[in-house]
Amino acid sequence: MPKRTDIKTILLIGSGPIVIGQACEFDYSGTQAAKTLKSLGYKVVLINSNPATIMTDPELADSTYIEPITKEVVQNIIKLEGVDAILPTMGGQTALNIAMELHESGALEGVQFLGAKPEAIKKGEDRQAFKEAMLKIGMDLPKSHYAYTQEEALKAANDIGFPLIIRASYTLAGGGSGVAYNIEEFKALAKAGLEASPISEILIEESLLGWKEYEMEVIRDRNDNCIIVCSIENLDPMGVHTGDSITIAPALTLTDKEYQRMRDASFKILREIGVDTGGSNVQFAINPQNGRMTVIEMNPRVSRSSALASKATGYPIAKIATLLAVGFSLDEIQNDITGTPASFEPSIDYIVTKIPRFTFEKFPKADSTLSTSMKSIGEVMAIGGSFKESLQKALCSLECGYYGLNSLTDDPSLARKESRRPNAERILYVADCFRLGLSVEEVHSLCHIDRWFLHQISELVAAQESITSDVLNDPAKLRRLKSQGFSDKMICYELERKERLEISESELYNLRKEMGIVAVYEEVDTCAAEFLAKTPYLYSTFTLMDSALGEQCGSVADFVGCQAVGEGIYLSGNEQAHRADSRKSAQKPTPAKVMIIGGGPNRIGQGIEFDYCCVHASFALADLGVESIMYNCNPETVSTDYDTSDMLYFEPIDFERVRAVIERESPDGIIVHFGGQTPLKLANSLTKIHAKIIGTSAKVIDTAEDREKFSHFISALGLKQPENGIAYDKEQAFSVASQIGYPVLVRPSYVLGGRAMRIVQDADELRTYMEEAVKVSEKSPVLIDKFLDHAIELDVDAISDGKEVYIGGIMQHIEEAGVHSGDSTSVLPSVSIAENLLDEIRQSTRKIALELGIVGLINIQYAIHKDSLYIIEVNPRASRTVPFVSKASGIPLAKVATRVMWQGDLQEALKFYDKHNRIDFTKSPLESIPYKHIAVKDSVFPFQKLSGADLLLGPEMKSTGEVMGISTSFGISFAKAQSASKNTLPTSGKLFLSLADCDKPYATQIAKSFIELGFSVCATEGTHKMLESAQIPSSCVLKISQGRPNIQDLIMNNEIALVINTSDDSQTKDDAREIRRQVLKSSVPYFTTIAAALVGAESIREIQQNDINTPRALQDFFA
């Protein structure tokens, strides 16, 4: 059947900001959906509050709304655009929940659901409806009860018995879920689950801890054709959220009978739920003792696992699901990679390993134990010819300083304890247990990881222990080590550790080449080489594919390393042979080709914003007629979509593997400036092997990144910077700090996201801190700055060709100095900076960029202190604000910069991309014509997911994502951004005011502002007396430690509309910290800085008079 012609305009709902459980995989799926719908001739209307997404690029949809994803806003867009149909299955839980809310309110009358009907969504998402549906078709489920009150929950607990799993309905990434081992834990979890569920429903079920967990990615069309795209096995047993578990594709420890049972069950589940035009994810658990299989849950939408399965197989689930949603059947859709029908089930002849990326170092007080509520920020994926090779490549991809199965401890008690406790590093502690002599059975009793995987890890440890200097003269041994995934760095490390033999990575690499031990590159083709692949999507392997070797059921043979690829590999887990025939290497591209090195896994400080820049670089190269080679290891991203670039390498971003691809491809240029700190750190090493880095040189990068060189450079230009000094150890640090005077800001070199940056108040704080700072900087100098108290900070994104400079945007931070720029609320253009200071910023930016020798993007951070301009830092690369500035200004900065880096002409590049004639080419530096609108970027934090984390902000970045508000008014834009970040401003009610001593002078100003707006004010005793003495009306409320009812009770009883709470570090352990925790639990809007609170008051004044739910398409701002 051809596409549907009864619908013309389709609304695509995005997932909003990057949060734990909902990352850039939904930008990937949303982008695929938008491109597909537009190619079919539909009018595409898109809403997403996240400016750092490719899907919100104005050319992707016909109408793009960067607006809060709320019921009111979406309803207004539907009316405004005349929407015929809505596709809610591409935007994660956010899109599903909004769609269901609109449906149940009757607001979607006459608007059709695509991808999944409301009835199917309800059956899949509502725990009770799902249970009833599964029982109807004879599926085995864990023993369970539903509860809507605490009393019902306690009754269910008594009936089932401990331990218990609590799951909340309609929540994201296991929100409101957990494992309870006793009645006190259960009461707390049940309360949290009921609060987290939008329908106040929780499922209480028997514990399946220790069971094996599997996932099936399933697609079904309107003709009831069903296929399994990919089976996925969780290495961690049940009890750890699948998003936090190491996962492997295909499933390796299933018998053929078990696999077929699971496959058949998946199809039955989709039919019963009613998913008939799209993809779903179905999760199962198997008891390893008796083989009992139970259904855990299903997602009637594209999910995080869908993105992983798409990248693991090369099968574009989101694109196929979109085509199915508008009327096509699987046999009518062509597989882009092979040209065969999409109804062919993908088959793979390699092993894929996904490892989640955590950022607990940012939240030292957060609980790092993994459970059923997701905590990871990002993930990596690696492809290898065996599980061992795939696992070690994945570990090297994490950007955690690992170069394989690193050892963490030689303490037996610690190794046992951490192997028993689910945590981010458990697999390394498991390896340490084997190093300490424990058997597979002993380790299995600790962690319950399947014995087959433990045998593989045990063999890797044994192989690692066998590394000695004879490997340098034994090609067979070296080949075998490489075939098991051992990196050159790990081999060098072992030689130095055991024999004090110092050999560099480059020396070992060259030795291997002389021996003929080099990686071969295989294609990801969806069909195990049965058909010729048309799209070059490659991975490296050293594994010999020898069909004569086999192991027990479920294994992939651990082959001896060899370069021969003409033989076969068998996945005996399903008793099905998947032969990997010798295949042709990818066609050589045209002579003009550029390699883009991506940013690796999402983590705090380096997220989707950098992937956005890499994708734009690829698009710009296509505009230039230059072939693009994308290199990355993140399965969630648009950059690793097979059709984003001309060639894709899915590999760890380390010197060894990057070098190998450079030697294979001989690119005419390499871009290291768009992927954040990850590729930037490779610049010096790549320059030494004469790799052609285009744009800003490695020498310039080093000058800007090395704090000592940078300080000298700024001084030589005659520009101001905070008084500072250099320290390499504690003694120097004390000397410099006492000379400058406290408070000081300690800043290590070569880090992103403010890692280990602190404001230090005295010598005692400095003494305990310096160890971390020096360790993080990796022997580079540490700069100690005088902290500029109450300074206004600004960010500038600019582009230079070495001759002229374009100012992309000057962003003013709402929060004062001391809050990391990535966490600050920013406004573009600035709203309160004097014109003479703005001009000084423009000229200083031009001077720095030209004198430094920037070719491409540059980001400079400034501070204004007592009417003087100071340079804080210079980043000779793309910054995380590039997408925001691009959306706000209408100029795609990363595309312009790419064109400049390749052709060297800034004016030509700007003219090519200035579609709206926004740039004044008479100015120097060049700049856009003043905006008629104002854009505000706000940050989104993971505090609710990480129990124990405090929401106070500082110089170390804590946010996971961002949102944008845009309108013709600053106050409305600010309010929209607050709404989009789930901190919706109230227009009336009671304000609770609790200020640190240093902020108390602002108490009267804040209280007056809110009283004028119609708010009442309450405060604790000290602040209340201050307000009383100023004749400002307020009520006194008890601190938590003073008795009941106290402020915590008022927040829990929904009596507080807004909280303004600031605190010194010294106060974070007292009542203030508990207040902030309760604010998070109760989802009460809050501000933790004076500056934000004052702007909030002005914003509330505007929204009392104007409707912030009136949407406006991004395209209209530049019409």
241 is in an annotated binding site: yes
Q: What is the pLDDT of residue 1114?
A: 97
Q: What does the DSSP 8-state code read for residue 1042?
A: G
**Which helix (H) or strand (E) element contains residue 1027?**
helix 1021-1029
501 is in an annotated binding site: no
Q: Kindly state whether residue 961 falls inside one of the protein's structural domains.
A: no
Q: Which of 95, 123, 151 is the last residue of a domain?
A: 123
Q: What is the pLDDT of residue 6?
A: 94
User: What's the CATH code of the domain at 1018?
Assistant: 3.40.50.1380
240 is in an annotated binding site: yes
Q: What is the pLDDT of residue 201?
A: 87
127 is in an annotated binding site: yes
Residues 247 and 332 in one domain: yes
Q: What is the pLDDT of residue 810?
A: 97
Residues 473 and 621 in one domain: no
Q: What is the pLDDT of residue 173?
A: 60
Q: Quick: pLDDT tens for 841-857.
A: 999 999 999 999 999 99
Residues 317 and 187 in one domain: yes
Q: Kindly state whether residue 498 falls inside one of the protein's structural domains.
A: yes
Residues 82 and 173 in one domain: no
Residues 603 and 627 in one domain: yes
Question: CB count, 10 Å around CB of 155?
Answer: 13
4 is in an annotated binding site: no
User: What's the CATH code of the domain at 650?
Assistant: 3.40.50.20
User: What's the CATH code of the domain at 452?
Assistant: 1.10.1030.10
Q: What is the pLDDT of residue 527?
A: 66
Residues 489 and 437 in one domain: yes
936 is in an annotated binding site: no
Distance CA 718, CA 837 (A): 16
End-to-end Cα spacing for the chain: 38
Q: Kindly state whether residue 908 falls inside one of the protein's structural domains.
A: no
Q: Which two tokens stand for residue 800?
A: 């230079």
818 is in an annotated binding site: yes
Q: What is the pLDDT of residue 172?
A: 65
Residue type, 990: K
Tell whether the model's pLDDT for residue 90 goes beyond 80.
yes
Strands 164-168 and 202-206: antiparallel
Contact 649, 639 (CB under 8 A): no
Q: Which of 123, 156, 173 is the last residue of a domain?
A: 123
| Residue 789 backbone phi and psi in degrees, to 5 | -70, 140
Q: Quick: pLDDT tens for 720-747.
A: 999 888 888 778 888 899 999 999 988 7
Q: Kindly state whether residue 538 falls inside one of the protein's structural domains.
A: no
Q: Quick: pLDDT tens for 769-795.
A: 877 665 544 466 778 889 988 899 999
Lowest mean pLDDT among 432-441, 547-556, 1028-1037: 547-556
63 is in an annotated binding site: no
Lowest mean pLDDT among 431-440, 560-569, 813-822: 560-569
Contact 833, 869 (CB under 8 A): no
Give the count of alpha carbons within 13 A of 776, CB side only: 23
- Domain of 745 in residue numbering reads as 723-782
Q: Quick: pLDDT tens for 955-983.
A: 888 999 999 999 999 999 999 999 999 99
820 is in an annotated binding site: yes
97 is in an annotated binding site: no
Q: Kindly state whether residue 1111 falls inside one of the protein's structural domains.
A: no
Q: Which two tokens stand for residue 498?
A: 């055991």
Q: What is the pLDDT of residue 945?
A: 73
- For a pLDDT cut of 90, what percent of the chain falls above it? 66
Residues 505 and 632 in one domain: no
Give the confidence band of 526 by pLDDT, cuts at 50, 70, 90.
Answer: low
Question: What integer best gives the mean pLDDT of the chain?
Answer: 89
Lowest mean pLDDT among 143-152, 429-438, 650-659, 1062-1071: 1062-1071
Q: What is the pLDDT of residue 174?
A: 64
3-state secondary structure at position 281 = strand
User: What's the CATH code of the domain at 733?
Assistant: 3.30.1490.20
Residues 151 and 248 in one domain: yes
Q: Kindly state whether residue 680 falls inside one of the protein's structural domains.
A: yes
- For a pLDDT cut of 70, what percent of the chain falls above it? 92
Measured CA distances, 54 to 611, 675, 963 (Å): 9, 15, 14
Contact 872, 923 (CB under 8 A): no
Tell whether the model's pLDDT for residue 435 goes beyond 50.
yes
CA 876 to chain centre: 23
208 is in an annotated binding site: yes
Q: Kindly state whether residue 731 falls inside one of the protein's structural domains.
A: yes
Residues 748 and 666 in one domain: no
Give the confidence band of 553 by pLDDT, cuts at 50, 70, 90.
Answer: very low
239 is in an annotated binding site: yes
167 is in an annotated binding site: yes
Distance CA 186, CA 165 (A): 9
Lowest mean pLDDT among 82-91, 205-214, 748-757: 748-757
Going along 14-152, which residue ranges are E strands? Answer: 43-47, 63-65, 85-87, 112-113, 144-147
Handedness of CA 48, 53, 58, 62 (dihedral sign): negative
500 is in an annotated binding site: no
Q: Which of 766, 782, 798 is the last residue of a domain?
A: 782
Q: What is the pLDDT of residue 946?
A: 76
861 is in an annotated binding site: yes
| Residue 873 backbone phi and psi in degrees, to 5 | -160, 160
853 is in an annotated binding site: no
Q: What is the pLDDT of residue 558?
A: 33
Q: Quick: pLDDT tens for 261-283.
A: 999 999 999 999 998 888 899 99
Handedness of CA 451, 453, 459, 464 (dihedral sign): negative
| Highest mean pLDDT, choosing among 192-196, 546-550, 598-602 | 598-602
Contact 624, 646 (CB under 8 A): no
Q: Kindly state whether residue 922 falls inside one of the protein's structural domains.
A: no
Tell whether the model's pLDDT for residue 297 goes beyond 60.
yes
Of 680, 731, 676, the closest CA to residue 706 belongs to 680
Contact 1117, 916 (CB under 8 A): no
739 is in an annotated binding site: no
Distance CA 222, CA 233 (A): 28
Strands 1035-1036 and 1016-1019: parallel
1005 is in an annotated binding site: no
Residues 232 and 154 in one domain: yes
786 is in an annotated binding site: yes
For the chain, the domain total comes to: 6
Measured CA distances, 769 to 359, 733, 759, 773 (Å): 19, 10, 10, 7
Q: Quick: pLDDT tens for 104-139.
A: 999 999 999 999 899 999 888 888 899 999 999 999
Q: What is the pLDDT of residue 562?
A: 27
Q: Quick: pLDDT tens for 131-167.
A: 999 999 999 998 888 899 988 999 888 888 888 888 8
Per-residue burial over 426-449, b = 16 or more CB atoms within 10 Å of its CB, e = otherwise: bbbbbbbbbbeebebeebbebbbb
Q: Quick: pLDDT tens for 987-1038.
A: 999 999 988 888 888 999 999 999 999 999 999 888 899 999 999 999 999 9
Lowest mean pLDDT among 88-102, 167-181, 187-201, 581-595: 581-595
Residues 155 and 250 in one domain: yes
Tell whether the model's pLDDT for residue 287 goes beyond 90.
yes
User: What's the CATH code of the domain at 178?
Assistant: 3.30.470.20
* In the block, residue with structure tokens 């989009």: 980
Residues 391 and 437 in one domain: yes
* In the block, residue with structure tokens 């991809």: 397
